Amino acid sequence: MPDMDVLLERLQKTVPALELRENEPMARHTTFRVGGPAALMALPKTEGEARLALREAAALGIEPFFLGNGSNLLVADEGYPGFVVKLAGRAFDDQREVNGQLWAGGAQKLSQLARAAWGRSLTGLEFAAGIPGTVGGAITMNAGAYGGEMAQVVAAVRVMDRAGNIEEVPNDGCDFAYRHSAFSGGERLILSARFALAPGDPAEIKARMDDLNARRKEKQPLEYPSAGSTFKRPAGHYAAALIDQCGLKGLRVGGAQVSEKHAGFVINTGGATCADILALMDRVRERVFRETGVTLEPEVRLLR
């Protein structure tokens, strides 16, 4: 990994208004609340700042990691020696109606966007009301819940590549699949997106959102830091059911635990390290494979 000091110096000179943080604790930026420091983090507040930051990194051969809300991310205890880019500011955390479609910046929280859709009597995003990610992160992994997913509602995505070039990608160019999109490889930064939603009755939209949120609260360990579902859904099975079937609820490694409330969640009960979580995930995968023959694949991404 090239020296971050060189990039820092170039960014300070080229983009003096850009917010830069050295050795930024990643535990502050993930819902697991674990992770060591990122060597350098940039928080662009405009597309211009983002473009210049990416071009300077590209000139040095540095590949940036694009960070959303960190709700599907596990960062190594020793940290990340590279360059992290996280959109910040009003330009990226906003939403509005454009030609009958709902537009949102890449840093807009998905839960806020779902409430905004309800406020505009637009239906289709109810499933997203309890998903803790950003618009950019949710599109990147085609996030979904309760039968809905981003692929069903995204009309187009505006992205910037590592050279600073911008293009708008229509839905059929997004390569959406289960927990996957054309942006999953991290080559392009999602700046904003447009959503194709249908007119709906606001009372019915609100009732649906309230119902789903009540079900989440009842069934999921929302009181603990986690990254949501730890494993992907295996073909023909449910990860939580397999883990429960193997008697693994409550299994612990250090501060990490398989939730007793929902077996699909690994939670941080307090003081968990990345190593604790990874070790627990390994134990769960080994046991489930030994007893059922099913291989669980992590849904959580590891950054190290």
Q: Which residues are catalytic?
A: 179, 229, 299
- Token pair for 294: 């099913």
DSSP state of 32: T
CA 21/CA 4 separation, integer angstroms: 11
Taking CA atoms, 78 is separated from 275, 277, 283, in Å, by 10, 14, 22
Residue 14: how many CB atoms within 10 A of its CB? Answer: 13
CA 214 from chain centre, in angstroms, equals 22
Residue with tokens 């080559």: 187
Taking CA atoms, 259 is separated from 228, 240, 256, in Å, by 11, 10, 9
Q: Are 183 and 190 in contact (CB under 8 A)?
A: yes
Q: Are 105 and 96 in contact (CB under 8 A)?
A: no
Q: Are 45 and 53 in contact (CB under 8 A)?
A: no
Taking CA atoms, 6 is separated from 40, 57, 85, 130, 226, in Å, by 11, 10, 16, 41, 35
CA 259/CA 265 separation, integer angstroms: 6
Identify the CA nearest to 191 among candidates 112, 109, 105: 105
Q: Are 46 and 166 in contact (CB under 8 A)?
A: no
